[in-house]
Every structure is written in structure tokens, then in C-alpha cells.
Structure 1
């Protein structure tokens, strides 16, 4: 018997995804691509046993994603005892609808002669139109309570296990009040129909968002017991309640990546968030590194004009003049940056606090001349010696910028850091701050090149994503605090043990 290893193949190579449209005689292929992941379907090893020359073709009609599965192979392993070839039809039926297993001629005939294709429009309503590389695109949005939106999403979700790591398809048979929480955005290209009966729409990608109820702060109001009727006489709808909006699934198909569609989709969702008075802020559910870069880029370019307009910068001289030689150890954050004004900007643009902190840190770093930063060759030894007493005000800004960054990182991972001895704690925090700063510098370089037209509108691929993780090395816990705190100057390092014990309760750099 042949070695069983000879009968295993890579599932990512065996699965072939394609988008098709009607042609002159039979459907023509627009794009062919392979999945990034197959472990949800075929196991962690992403291997398929029992076939040679295996090709699993999943075809999707360009306009409505009508799906078809076609499996071909050169040889199939003959079962020996418990060893048998993977039952591909059974495995795929958990992920692909039953109608996708129709005979190939039947499927091709349905796509080629679809009488409804020429009148097809994406479900929902048109919310944004744009051009990229001289091609026209549209973004449509609709509630998941709309059956047409649900039907199209059910087909689009087949891409989830292939491209969204740890992604889970949405349950589409929930009660209507739950479905109303969800809005689905579809990205389509407007194309010239290849035949008189073909559609002018070709699927590019989609995103799902849902409302997460937000409990508003009650300022100065006391609870009042009322004799109201039960049940409540008026129907309560999620769309009228204060909420956070959360992006769940977000996908642009591989053939369309690198053309700015992700940024267009994210910005469309963000603008809808700002326009909705019932939404408090926009958040993201478990973003990967590539999406983090996309989000940082979009938010940075959105906030940049406002931060420039408001003249946001670090105060290089936070100590009061009357302090004299004996300067206070604690510098309130509000004396370094205008915290109240920044809170107003964040609320206006409805960006989550942690994300806003990232964008603000990048912006403030970029306001410091490059030669005065570590990446530009700044004299770090001199900076560590002079600190806030540096002669150049931009060197002082850079010193305070690092203090603000370390403050934020410390608060995020305080529970981890306080378990370390003070020297190791300081070392870990400094290493993390340097890693984050390097990530910011890489992103600022990408943003600057993009502004000058030297880069595309899309973020770099995942394998070249700048490192911006706020993790304490070698821990994997992230360090992203949610509130602002006072910065403690680290000038007096000869404090006694009692002062050290007390200082451990506060951010100390």
C-alpha cells in the first residue's frame, strides 16, 4: 500500500474560489483566488486526505453570489480499515448551502440565463459612490431585518472561514428585534454588462455592524419611582436607544485589495456613526493587525485637520513659573495637553478612547521635528540627562511625549508591571514604549508617502504591517489604558523605600 502521506494535500491550494459572470456562450471568470485559511473547515493542519490532483472549485455569481461547488481529482484513496478519504461533500455542507451542490450544467445555465440579473440592485440603499483607478464603485447599506439583505449576507458569509481568522458567520434566524441591531454594508463595482441580460454590479466586499446598548451617565439626576404601566405601552426599538456601534465582519475580496476599498468602506461606516445622534462611538470587534493599520490610517487623516485647526501640541514648559528651583514631582496631564478640548474632539468624531489615544500620540509625535526624535537620530543620552531641562523646546516636547506614552502604557498593564521589581518594571516599560514609537514612525512614513502620491490608498499587507502592539515584552497582554492620569516626573530616582511603595500605586516612568 502506498504511503498515506502521499495522499494528503494542502487545503489552501486545493480550494479555488472564483467570481463569474455571463459570457458569450457560457459563464466567464472575472477573478480566481485561493483562501487564506481553511482550518475551520478541514482542521488545524489544513490538510485533505485521500486525493491526488484535487481541486475544489467554489464559484460565485458576480452580482448575487449564487454559489456552486465542483470537485475534481485524478485519484481517490481506497478505504483500508479506518483510513478513508475525506468526505468532501459532507464536510462542505456545514458551510455551503445545499443548492450549491447542483449539477454544473444546471448552475451555469442559471447564471447565463438569469432573467432577473439585469434588474438587480444591491439590497438596502445607496450610501456612497466613489472611483478608484478609473473604475466606479458603490456602497449600499441595509438592515439585517430586511430579507434581501439576509439572503445576500448568507451567501457572502461563505468567505468568513476562508479570510477572517477566528471569524464566525452570523446567525440569521434570530428574532426581528435582534436583527434590527445589525446593519450590513455591501461594496459593489459598477461594470459594463457583458451581455444584454447580465447585471451591472460585481461584488467587492462587505462589512457588518451592530449596535451595543450604551448606558448613559446620569449627571445630577436622582432616580424617581413612577407608577407606569407594564408592559410598556410603546414598542422600544434599538434604533432609538443610545448605543455604541461595533464593526464585526469586514472583508474586501483579494482581487480588489490594494485599491482603497477598505478605507472607503470604513470611512462610510464612520460617517454614518457621526451622523446618528443615538450612537456614542464606533468600536471594532477583535481587529487583526492589517485592519488596525487601515483604521489608524483612516482615523489619522480624519482627525488631522481638526487637530491642526485646534493647534493641538505638547506644552514644553508645563511647570508654573512660581515653582522656582523646587519643581513639583507631579505634572497634571492637562498642563501638557488640552485634555478638555481633546475630549470634545473625541466625542465629536465618536472615536473610542483607546483608538483616539493612538491617533493623538502619532499626531503629537509628528509635530516634533524628525531630527529631535529617536528615529531621526536624536541624542537620547543627552535627553535622558537633561529631560525637561533641555535647551531646545522640541527636545523638551519629545521628553514629555515619551512620558505621556509611558503613562498610558503603565496604566494599561499596571497589574502585570507591579509584579516586577522596579528596575525590571522600568526596563519593560521603556522597551514597550520604544516598540510602540517605532510602530508609529513606520505608520507616519506610510501616511507621508501616501500624501505625496508615492503609495497606494491601501494599507500595507499583513506580513509587512508596522508593529504598534502595546504589549509588555515578553507578555502578550496589551497595554491600552482608557483614562488620562497625571504624569510623574522621574527626576528624583533616589527616593526612599516608603516613597517607592507609594509611587508604585501611581504611574511611574
Structure 2
């Protein structure tokens, strides 16, 4: 028997994802790309045993994502005992709809001669149009309770195991009241049809957002009152106070680094701001790429608000009376306008942890680079809040504000350490947090200060800005920010801590 290695291939290389559209005589390829990973389907090793020259083609019609699976190979391993080639059809059926397993000729004929394609429009409602790189795009949004939205999402979710790490396709046969919690956003390019019967829409990406019920604070008289039963009107989930949470978010590889992610995120964010029942926008388990995109969009949205409100650290938080001993606690409310910041966060409906990161980055940007970092630390540790230079004092207080946030979040761990070890761990953490912020600010500040000189398509997308700036890779930026800090569930954040200026931190790895 041949060595098993001869019969093993890389699943990421074997799988080809293709967007196709009608051609003169038969469908032609519009886009072709490989998956980012295949471990949900083929296991952690992402290897397929039993084939030579294996190609697994997953075709999607550009407009409605009608799907087809076609498998070809040069040679298949003959089973010997328990050793057998992977049953590809059985494996893929868990992730691809049954309708995709038809004859290739039947599928191509359907795509080529689809008389309804020329009249196709994405399901839902057109909510945003934009132009980038001289190409036109649209974003459509609709409820998952809509049959057409649900059908298209069912096909779009074929990309989930290949690009959304840890992603799980949504269950689409839930009761209607559950489906109404979900809004689906589709991004499409408007293209010139390749044939008279072809569609003018080509799929780019999508996002799913669901409402997470929010228990509002109780004010005033909380006495239970008598009322009619049953209720005279049906209570719908869409009318209750909630958080909106982004669950799936995907821009296909051929369209990445062109601004579509930022456009889509901003559309979702604006919809949340406009909806009076939505308290804030959160994200479910974001990856590094999305975190940087989100940071970029939120920083841009808050940057001008912070500037207009003149948000900065007060370098002189203590009263001028001589002889008065300074308090032991950080004078948060004297350092930053906590109530004003709370109002800004509420206005923009940004989750507390995310708002704290953006605020810390902005406050750091107000301190000249030459006044911060390791070069001045020896002098600053001696002078502290009595330093002669205002920016030195601001930097001293900035570090304390961030340390306060870090400590409150990880207090249970830190109190177990000796005081000197505790200080050391906090210092190590804040150094890495600051370095991560500095790298992000290099990009964000350059964009904000030179916004008029940036091309719109580059300016609007975090990926493209990162690449153009040549600072570092997106993953490295995010890893630096997460070096000693880990996100916890944003839903558990307590807004009262923000008002007091002591946001809970991401946890130091100690």
C-alpha cells in the first residue's frame, strides 16, 4: 500500500469557492478564491485523506448565491481495512444545502437561462448606496422573518465555515417571533449585466444583527398596577428595549480592503442610533480584523465629538489650598468630565468597554509623543502630579486612569499578589496597552488630520488604511493590544463604573 502521505491533501488548497454568472453560451467565473480555513468541516488538521489531484468546487451564482458542489480528482484510495477515503458528499452535506448536489449540467443550465435574474433585487430594503474605486455598491437590510431574506441568508451561510472562525450557521426554522429579532444586511455591487438576462447585482458580503433584551433601570414608582389581561395589543420583541449585537460579519476576500467593512459597520451603527429602543451596539466574539475595523470606525465617529467637547485630562485636579493632603484615590471626576463622557457614550450607543478603549486612545493622542513613553518615566516617577510640564502631568494621570480600569477589572487576581509584584504586573500591562494604542493612533490620527487628502475608498476602510500606512499588519496591531488584556462579555459591563471614570479592564495575563 502506498504511504498515507501520498493520499493526503490540504483542504484549504483543495476547496475552491467561485462566484459565477451567465456567459455567451455557458456560465463564466466572476471571482475565484480559497477558504481561510476548513477545520469545521475537515477537522483541526485541515487535511483530506484518500484522493490525488482533488478539487472541491463550490459555485455560487453572483446574484442569489444558488449553490452547487462539484468534486473531481485524479485517483481515489481503495479502502483497506479501516482505512478509507473521506466520504466527501456525506461530509459536505452537513454544511451545504441538499439542492447543491445536482448534476453540473443542470446547475449551469439553470444559471445560464434564469429568466428571473434580470429582475432580481436583494431582499429587504435599500438602506445605503456608495461608490468606491469607481464601482457602485448598495446595502440592503431586512428581517429574518422575511422569506426572501431567510432564503438568501441560508445560501450565504455556506461561507461561514470557511471564513468566520467559530461561526455557526443560524437556525432558520425558528418561530417567527424569534426570527423577528434578527436583521440581515446584504452588500451588493451594481454591475453591468454580462447578458441581456443576467442580473445587475453581484454579492459582496453580509452581516447578521440580533436584538438582545435589555433590562432597563427602574425609576420612580415601581408598584405593580392592575391592568387588562390579556394585553390589548400583542407585545413584539422589536418594540422592547434591547442591545443590538453583531453576530456574523463577512466581506468576501475579493472585495476586502476596499472600504466595504467600514461602510457596513457604519450603516449598522447608524441604524442603532436611530432606533430609540436600542440602548447600545455590541459585537459577539469579534476577531482581530473586525476589532481593528471597529476601532477605526468608532474612533472616527467619536474623534470629532471629543474635539468639539474639548475632552482632555485636567492636569491640575487637586485644589490649590496649601497644606491639604491629597486623597489616596484617583480623582477621576476632576480629571475627566465623567458625566459628559457618559452622555456621549449614550448618544453614540457604544458599549462601555469599547468606549473606554477609544477614550483612552484619544486622551493619549492629546499628549505629545515626546512627553510619553519610557524616556521620561524616571523623572515622572519622582515628580508625579507635581511635574512642571502640563503634558507630563497629563501623561502621569493618563497612566493612573488606565491602571485604575485594569485593576478594577482584575482585582480578584491582583490582590493575591504581593504589592510589588502587583505594581510590576500593572506596569507591564499598561506598557503594552500604550504601545498598542500608539500603533493604532499612528494610522487613525494620520487619517483624521489629513482626511481631505485621502481617497474615499481608502479612507473608509481599516484594512486599506493599515496597508497604505505600512505600519504593521492588522493582526499584529490587535495582538499587541491584547498582549496582556483579554475581553470579557460586554453585556456584563456596568455603566455606573464609566460614570465614575473607572471602567472595568480587560484582564491582565498574570
TM-score, normalisation: structure 1: 0.91
Counterpart in the other structure of 1:387: 384
Give the unaligned 5+ runs of structure 2: 467-472, 503-510
Match of 2:395 among 389, 393, 398: 398
Match of 1:416 among 413, 438, 462: 413
Q: Secondary structure at the match of 2:442?
A: helix
Contact 2:330–2:400 under 8 Å retained in 1 = no
Cα displacement (A) at 1:478: 5.7
Cα displacement (A) at 1:359: 0.6
Q: 1:314 aligned to 2:313?
A: yes
Counterpart in the other structure of 2:447: 450
Spell out, residue by residue over 1:132-179, the C-alpha distance to the aligned partner (whole angstroms, 9 max, x if none): 111110000000000000000000001111000100000000000000
Q: 1:296 aligned to 2:300?
A: no
Spell out, residue by residue over 1:73-130, the C-alpha distance to the aligned partner (whole angstroms, 9 max, x if none): 1110000001000000010011111111111111111111110000000000000000
Counterpart in the other structure of 1:491: none
Superposed, which structure 2 residues align to 1:11-22 within 5 Å?
11-22=11-22
Counterpart in the other structure of 1:506: none
What is the rounded CA distance, in whole Å, between the counterparts of 1:219 and 1:43 in structure 2? 52
Q: Secondary structure at the match of 2:280?
A: strand
Match of 1:467 among 457, 461, 479: 479
What is the rounded CA distance, in whole Å, between the counterparts of 1:193 and 1:359 in structure 2? 43
What is the rounded CA distance, in whole Å, between the counterparts of 2:500 and 2:321 in structure 1? 20
Counterpart in the other structure of 1:495: none
Counterpart in the other structure of 1:4: 4
What is the rounded CA distance, in whole Å, between the counterparts of 1:487 and 1:162 in structure 2? 41
Cα displacement (A) at 1:415: 1.3
Cα displacement (A) at 1:468: 5.0
- Which 10-residue stretch deviates more, 198-207 or 440-449? 440-449
What is the rounded CA distance, in whole Å, between the counterparts of 2:234 and 2:260 in structure 1? 38
Counterpart in the other structure of 1:270: 269
Q: Secondary structure at the match of 1:12?
A: helix
What is the rounded CA distance, in whole Å, between the counterparts of 2:340 and 2:4 in structure 1? 67
Counterpart in the other structure of 1:189: 189
Counterpart in the other structure of 2:506: none
Q: 1:432 aligned to 2:421?
A: no
What is the rounded CA distance, in whole Å, between the counterparts of 1:412 and 1:166 in structure 2? 26
What is the rounded CA distance, in whole Å, between the counterparts of 2:484 and 2:444 in structure 1? 26
Contact 1:282–1:352 under 8 Å retained in 2 = yes
Contact 2:191–2:201 under 8 Å retained in 1 = yes
Q: 1:53 aligned to 2:53?
A: yes
Cα displacement (A) at 1:318: 0.3
Evaluate the alpha carbon distance shift between residue 353 and residue 477 of structure 1 in structure 2; reply closer, same or farther with a 3 A threshold.
Answer: closer
Counterpart in the other structure of 1:497: none
Contact 1:333–1:485 under 8 Å retained in 2 = no
Superposed, which structure 2 residues align to 1:132-281 within 5 Å?
132-229=132-229, 231-281=230-280
Contact 2:296–2:462 under 8 Å retained in 1 = no
Counterpart in the other structure of 2:469: none
- Which 10-residue stretch deviates more, 213-222 or 51-60? 213-222
Cα displacement (A) at 1:479: 11
Evaluate the alpha carbon distance shift between residue 487 and residue 326 of structure 1 in structure 2; reply closer, same or farther with a 3 A threshold.
Answer: farther
Contact 2:266–2:297 under 8 Å retained in 1 = yes
Paired residues in the alignment total 483
Counterpart in the other structure of 1:327: 326
Q: Secondary structure at the match of 1:322?
A: coil
Counterpart in the other structure of 2:505: none
Contact 1:330–1:487 under 8 Å retained in 2 = no
Cα displacement (A) at 1:424: 1.3
What is the rounded CA distance, in whole Å, between the counterparts of 1:305 and 1:273 in structure 2? 19
- Which 10-residue stretch deviates more, 409-418 or 344-353? 409-418
Contact 1:330–1:486 under 8 Å retained in 2 = no
Contact 1:290–1:465 under 8 Å retained in 2 = no
Superposed, which structure 2 residues align to 1:340-355 within 5 Å?
340-355=339-354
Contact 1:435–1:467 under 8 Å retained in 2 = no
Evaluate the alpha carbon distance shift between residue 382 and residue 218 of structure 1 in structure 2; reply closer, same or farther with a 3 A threshold.
Answer: same
Cα displacement (A) at 1:449: 3.6
Cα displacement (A) at 1:422: 1.4
Contact 1:470–1:479 under 8 Å retained in 2 = no
Cα displacement (A) at 1:224: 2.2
Cα displacement (A) at 1:381: 1.0
What is the rounded CA distance, in whole Å, between the counterparts of 1:477 and 1:213 in structure 2? 21
TM-score, normalisation: structure 2: 0.91
What is the rounded CA distance, in whole Å, between the counterparts of 2:402 and 2:23 in structure 1? 57
Contact 2:342–2:499 under 8 Å retained in 1 = no
| Higher relative contact order structure (alpha carbons within 8 Å, sequence separation ≥ 6) | 2
Cα displacement (A) at 1:60: 0.5
Cα displacement (A) at 1:383: 1.1
Spell out, residue by residue over 1:13-48, the C-alpha distance to the aligned partner (whole angstroms, 9 max, x if none): 100101111111211111111111111101111110
Counterpart in the other structure of 2:369: 370
What is the rounded CA distance, in whole Å, between the counterparts of 1:326 and 1:386 in structure 2? 16
